[in-house]
Amino acid sequence: MAEKTKQPLDCTIELSTEAVLEQVRQLASELHSRRKNFQHITLDSALDRDLGFDSLSRVELFQRLERAFGVRLPEQMLASAETPRDLWRSLVSAGATGRRGVSSPAKPTVELEEMEGTPHAAETLLEMLDWHVLSHPQRPHVYLYGDEDEPEVITYAMLADGARTLATGLQSRGLMPGQTVAIMLPTSRDYLFSFFGILLAGGIPVPIYPPLRPSQIEDHLRRHAGILANAEAVLLITVAEARKVARLLKAQVDTMRAVVTPEELMSSSGIYSELTPQSQDIAFLQYTSGSTGQPKGVILTHANLLANIRAMGEEVQVDSTDVFVSWLPLYHDMGLIGGWLGSLYYGMPLVLMSPLAFLIHPPRWLWTIHKHRGTLTAAPNFAYELCLHKIEESDLKGLDLSSLRRAFNGAEPVSPNTLRRFTEHFAPYGFRARALAPVYGLAEAAVGLAFPPLDRGPLIDCIQREPFVSSGKAIPALASDSNPLEFVACGQPLPGYQIRIVDMAGRELPDRQEGRLEFRGPSATSGYLRNADATQSLFDGEWLDSGDLAYIAEGDVYLTSRIKDLIIRGGRNIYPYEVEEAVGDIPGIRKGSVAIFGTPDPNSGTERLIVIAETREEEPDTLESLQAQVYSVTTDLLNMPPDEAMLAPPHTVLKTSSGKIRRAAVRELYEQGRIGERPRAVWWQVIRLALSSWKPRMRSARRWLGDMAYAGYAKIIFWLLTPITWLLVVLLPSASFRWTVMRRSARLLFRLTRVPLRVEGLEKWPDGQACVIVANHSSYLDGVVLAAALPTEFAFVAKAELDKQFFPRRFLRRIGAVFVERFDKQQGVADAQRTVNTIRSGRSLMFFPEGTLDRMPGLLPFHMGAFVAAAETAMPVVPVTIRGTRSILRSGSWFPRRGAVSITVSLPIMPTGTDWDAAVKLRNAARTNILQYLGEPDLEREAPHVLKPS
């Protein structure tokens, strides 16, 4: 007998297990129309594995259950429900609360007065928050929607107090300045407190998305393990329900010390120690969507973020009277920076709901705009498309969207059809076409890069297909063209930013010619964390490569494709987005679940064109008909048939956390012959994951033993050589003998410790002439490396503190070091004059112009001493780039590790004068030269693109 429970007053169907199962069976029969018998469905049938319900199917099921039984299901059930029994239990729990509508009064929850001023003088996010706390602590900052109809109001004071309490908990757990902390939380007050709490404690936040469903646990953890290992995260903040998942993750990451909840951190006792970050300190790490292989963590400093927020605000003319309504996830740059931090800066209220709230109830987004008279909102293209397909007209009665002055569409390819249909459909509800704003941005620019002019509305370029696919020329289409291409204008560069289009050789292209999009601007990242190869490929001189293909016409940027997604077949360029959208429109094909990619064909030397399309159909005749339609649609658009079109079950086409198609991952499945494989059971995934964690543990143990053995051996060699070298240098009467001993000892040290030392560019050395040598400084090994590698004798410029220590003083004085004072300005001037006199005497001087070293990768700002001395004496500056010493012996550690060292000697740079401007030019030229070969981020306080040329 079916279980029953008391129904709400306005319920039209009695709530029972059989009634719930009937709703599930009805939807399943619609999804799988060719299957006749669904009576086998039970309370314990798996929604995904047995019934094939994907995310959109779950949304439809939730909406039907809510309408049928007159209740609102908790949003988290969309992610956590695995069976109809889970849904039944949730319906029983929600049954007593009754139905809650989505429409609301048109007046805001609170009327806010216009704020006076903005924190323009703030140099960090913490200074920005402090400004608001001092100016108006009780002003509402966030209206946070959860399961209730009314929002929780979070003021600036509440945000600051909560963050400080959480920061105390982090510091009590030993968090040190500069260490990374991962945040794996849903949209909540805990997320807001955690982000600023990490900053207050001196840490670096690393936002990652929480797992959606247990069935995705294996892919979720394996993807995140690489991110957290790359970030060297020491703590993970997550919800209590995810701690089991988090512990499995912790086993995969060597640096992870603890997994904690916000509640545990905020209940910790201790005293908060205030820290003051600088504008060039890292504010957080944004890992790019769909990171696989070696993760790419975009380094974003406080200066980057504030520069981008100010540029976007200036372009959109934002002020505190605006209201931003957002459901965007806070682990994504569009939601975190564009939504939350932008609202925080300008003091405008942020009306915030979770992504699940929108996915379950798309009308709720629009009604929240109506209720709060929202003026700004943002979403990817799929959200606007979802509003067109998943909202019934009855849900829109009384809706008023006339308050919107900007609805941004970005973060994924923008569809011209979506723009047209959304504008037309919602015009009767007050939505104005000019409010819809396709935009372009990327994490490497903080978030925003190009916005359209205010009140212009979407601009769609219609071009001739054949010239574009064959030669990349965007020629406007004629009225007689039957099959043109359409691209959406994504705006013009923000104030202070520049965009250019270049060919594969780096030459800038004219308008209406497709090429690689490069940019520069005040928020451009300095690179990817611990990924020198990706950082090096990111930069083209002072320009950054976006990885996108585009063309410019009349100042507007038109994105055409990601470089990695472009398919080249038979000399033609094929762009996947248009074909994916068209195939997704075929009845029976799941819209938004089509992937098109190229795979190498060794026989033809070109790429095979593959189409993978999801469908719920199972009957052979229906599948054959659908496959023929896929071939036909693809051929009509491209004037060539695909090499293969495969129909696959739901969940085959993989996506990122933000809904983008992971074409590379789908291609990998195809090439491995795994298209259509059924997902493993959750229990089996957990067992496999737990067992697999032993492998990294064993590897870690072996690595630890090997590292310990090598460190011990290297220290023995060092302490055997050091006393002998020190004694000979101190006692030998001839300077040349002393240098010979030091150079041979240094080379012997590297040889015995098996550290390869590669030197390039010695042919550029200025023979027979004194010079000023400048090198980057990343390890205490740098001086030893230079002594071993450089072909001439030189005098080290050393800090005055070493002159006060017996052993360093005796050694350095015997090799002719010049000591300089770093803190006493008057003495420093006298020491600078001594360096000039040393150069004039015919001796070369060796400077580390950074003045200090740091454990974190990156080139610090250069001090001017070396370059002033070179300009004044008209001596050449020789830039020397050292790579590898930081990984062998990091600052703050005396634990040597295996590694290789390379030295690159660059051409000498002659001063153009003897004044300060000439010295600045020398500095800029030398620094640019070292950065070129270093492969590390630029930590200069001044953005790279404004460095003066030599």
Domain 488-565 homologous superfamily, CATH: Luciferase; Domain 3 (2.30.38.10)
Report the distance separating Cα 384 and Cα 659, nearest Å.
Answer: 13
Which pLDDT score, from 0 to 100, does residue 401 have? Answer: 97
Query: Is 841 within 8 Å of 893 (Cβ atoms)?
Result: no
Res 283 pLDDT > 90:
yes
710-946 placed in CATH 3.90.230.10? no
- Which residue in 42, 32, 79, 41 sits closest to 59, CA to CA? 79
Residue 853: pLDDT band with limits 50, 70, 90? confident
The per-residue pLDDT for 221 is: 67
Confidence of residue 22 (pLDDT cuts 50, 70, 90): confident
- Mean pLDDT is lowest, of 245-259, 676-690, 729-743, 913-927, for 676-690
Least confident of 14-28, 285-299, 730-744, 883-897: 285-299
pLDDT for 127 equals: 98
> Among 269, 259, 246, 213, which residue's Cα sits nearest to residue 57?
213
pLDDT of residue 218: 57
CA angle 876, 881, 884 (to 5 degrees): 160
Q: Which of 138-147, 191-200, 207-216, 384-393 has the lowest mean pLDDT?
A: 207-216
Are the CB atoms for 800 and 781 separated by under 8 Å? no
How far apart CA 777 and CA 92 sit, in angstroms, is 65
Report CA 298 to chain centroid distance, whole Å. 5
Average pLDDT over residues 230-238: 94
Question: What number is the average pLDDT over the span 298-319?
Answer: 96
Question: Higher-confidence residue: 638 or 851?
Answer: 851
Q: Which residue has the higher pLDDT, 591 or 364?
A: 364
Contact 529, 228 (CB under 8 A): no
User: Which CATH architecture is the domain 570-682 placed in?
Assistant: 2-Layer Sandwich (3.30)
Task: Please give the pLDDT value at position 160.
Answer: 98
The pLDDT confidence band at residue 481, using thresholds 50, 70 and 90, is confident
Per-residue pLDDT averaged across 322-334, rounded?
94
Same fold, 570-682 and 710-946: no
**What is the tens place of the pLDDT at every residue in 834-850?**
788 888 888 888 899 88
- Specify the range with the lowest mean pLDDT, choosing from 152-166, 415-429, 704-718: 704-718
The answer to whether the CB of 488 falls within 8 A of the CB of 458 is yes
Percent of the chain having pLDDT more than 70?
A: 83
CATH code of the domain occupying 17-97: 1.10.1200.10
Segments making up each domain of the chain, as ranges: 17-97, 125-451, 488-565, 570-682, 710-946
Q: What angle do CA 30, 31, 32 make, to 5 degrees?
A: 95
CATH 3.40.50.150 fits 125-451, yes or no: no
- pLDDT number for residue 99: 41
Average pLDDT in the chain: 84
55: confidence class by pLDDT, cuts 50, 70, 90: low
| Phi, psi of 352, deg, nearest 5 | -120, 130
Tell me: pLDDT of 639 over 70: no
pLDDT digits (tens, 9 = 90+) for 213-222: 655 555 566 6
Structure tokens at 585: 């429109």
Long-range residue pairs from 931-936, CB within 8 A, at least 24 positions apart, any chain: 931/859, 932/881, 933/881, 933/883, 933/904, 933/906, 934/776, 934/859, 934/881, 934/883, 935/532, 935/533, 935/535, 935/536, 935/883, 936/527, 936/532, 936/535, 936/857, 936/858, 936/859
Query: How many residues does the structure list for the chain?
Result: 950
Beta strands at 795-799 and 818-820: parallel, antiparallel or unpaired: parallel
Classify the C-alpha dihedral 151-153-154-158 as positive or negative. Answer: negative
642: confidence class by pLDDT, cuts 50, 70, 90: confident
Confidence of residue 757 (pLDDT cuts 50, 70, 90): very high
- Whether the pLDDT of residue 575 is over 80: the answer is no
Residue 905's pLDDT is what?
Answer: 94
User: pTM for the complete prediction?
Assistant: 0.65
Least confident of 494-498, 571-575, 647-651: 571-575
Higher pLDDT, 389 or 388: 388
Quickly state the pLDDT bin for 270 (edges 50, 70, 90). Answer: confident
Residue 105 clears pLDDT 80, i.e. is over it: no
More confident residue, 50 or 831: 50
**Distance, CA of 757 to CA of 548 (rounded, Å):** 38
Mean pLDDT of 133-150: 92
Is the pLDDT at 168 greater than 50? The verdict is yes
Q: Which pLDDT does position 574 carry in this prediction?
A: 66
The first and second tokens of residue 103, run together, are 């429409």
Confidence of residue 100 (pLDDT cuts 50, 70, 90): very low
Q: pLDDT band at 88, cuts 50/70/90? A: confident
- Which pLDDT value is given to residue 947? 31
pLDDT, average across residues 719-726:
92
Average pLDDT over residues 847-870: 82
Question: Between the ranges 154-163, 468-477, 646-655, where is the mean pLDDT highest?
Answer: 154-163
pLDDT in tens, 35-44: 556 667 888 8
Strand partners, 904: 760, 881
Instruction: Annotate 529-549 with b (16+ C-beta within 10 A) or e (fewer).
Output: bbbeebbeebbeebbbbbbbb
Q: What is the DSSP letter of 828?
A: H
More confident: 109 or 84? 84
DSSP symbols for 903-939: EEEPPPB--S-SSHHHHHHHHHHHHHHHHHHH-S-B-
User: Given this model, what pLDDT does residue 930 score?
Assistant: 94
